[in-house]
Amino acid sequence: MSATGFDVCVSGSGAVAMSLTLALSAEGWRVAWARSPEATSPAKADVRTYALNARAITLLERLRVWPALKAFSSPVFEMKICGDGGGALSFSAWQQQVTELAWIVDAAALERLLGEALRFAPRVEIVPPLQGAQAPVKAALLAICEGKHSGTRADLGVEFARQDYGHWGVATRLKAERPHNGVARQWFRSPDILALLPFNQPDPDASYGLVWSVPKERAEHLLSLNTADFELELNDAVLQSAPEAAEQIGHLSVASEVAGWPLALAQADRWMGPGWVLLGDAAHQVHPLAGQGLNLGLADVDTLVTVLREARQREPWRTLGDERTLRRYARRRETPTRAMAGLTDGLLHLFADQRGPLKDLRNAGMTLVERLGPVKHWLVGRALDA
């Protein structure tokens, strides 16, 4: 296969690179997958759980990964969001007339099952990682899915303006005393944001994925604690945020390692050029408060494959790396990505401000949105289809 060249070379080792490789192979293209050798045996299992939206799940269904992944996933039927001064917002699947609002997915299982599916994918060859921006094989298109620290993006001279939030996302798996009933909870505690995502492992119906976004110094402190002290601080934070909810959840105990990720907002100044394109975190990074980073990346995959398929049908004379085709992809993805980045960034700044009038206003705003059915419906619609 290498002698004749490939249609696409996909560079990257995460969920976006693997989904793209599978999707291109299913469309009949010959794909060289340039992954890093460490990808097959990560030093530590990823303790994160991802909230994935309907569009992401539909893509994973088409890639035939979802039937196996569903066993490592839990549906969200209700979402309760609380402000720091009485403001509250809730969404439910039945109100929105959908089966579930999102699925909480085991991050490590997602990557493992995508990797297993790739072992059986036709027309896919694993090739060595790129040297500079040079693909190790001849391919019409280079798809760069190398995550936020992409070296190839830098080699191509693409700017990735990064605004460091000075916050870290602290994540772990939790066991609860009482069943979660498919309810996801999030508290804007100013300055931290605490989210409990209902999950079915290790305890069926009584586990959570934790994402606790806290200032860097607090994260360093939390990461240095032993399990008992971490549990103490976490249960105390839940109790302070919402005594009623703390009663419904019961005591939370840690069920995995605790890990942290620095959080930032970033967007590439160019998403494509002649023969190359960016996808996933290599193109954009958002705060995880809305659980949208990977959803955006999987929507990039879906859109790129659709644009390439349409070009093959309507303009078969164009090569896969044709700039006009790739510009269509960039145009379709840049606007929704900027909108989501703006929404998460705006919420973060709104809740970062400790001044009294703003605190009252944001909490009143939440309660107002709660009462405005069409606005709530619109917000859920955007989140389901990043």
Binding site for ligand FAD (CB under 6 A): 11-17, 34-36, 39, 48, 50-51, 129-130, 145-147, 150-152, 169, 171, 211, 261, 280-281, 288, 291-295, 297
Min separation Cβ 383 and ligand FAD, Å: 10
Integer Cα distance of 27 and 46 in angstroms: 30
Integer Cα distance of 240 and 46 in angstroms: 29
Min separation Cβ 342 and ligand FAD, Å: 17
Min separation Cβ 64 and ligand FAD, Å: 19
Evaluate whether 34 touches 145 at the Cβ level (below 8 Å): no
Amino acid at 57: I
| Nearer of residues 48 and 173 to ligand FAD, judged by Cβ | 48
| Nearer of residues 15 and 101 to ligand FAD, judged by Cβ | 15
Min separation Cβ 367 and ligand FAD, Å: 25
Integer Cα distance of 289 and 383 in angstroms: 12
| Nearer of residues 9 and 249 to ligand FAD, judged by Cβ | 9
| Nearer of residues 294 and 348 to ligand FAD, judged by Cβ | 294
Buried b / exposed e along 282-294 (16+ C-beta atoms within 10 A):
bbbbbbbbbbbbb
Enumerate residues 6+ apart whose C-beta is below 8 A from 113.
65, 68, 69, 72
Integer Cα distance of 60 and 299 in angstroms: 11
Residue nearest to ligand FAD (CB): 14
Locus of tokens 């790396």: 321
| Nearer of residues 207 and 363 to ligand FAD, judged by Cβ | 207
Min separation Cβ 145 and ligand FAD, Å: 5
Sign of CA dihedral 89, 94, 97, 102: positive
Evaluate whether 91 touches 380 at the Cβ level (below 8 Å): yes
Min separation Cβ 265 and ligand FAD, Å: 12
| Nearer of residues 161 and 355 to ligand FAD, judged by Cβ | 161
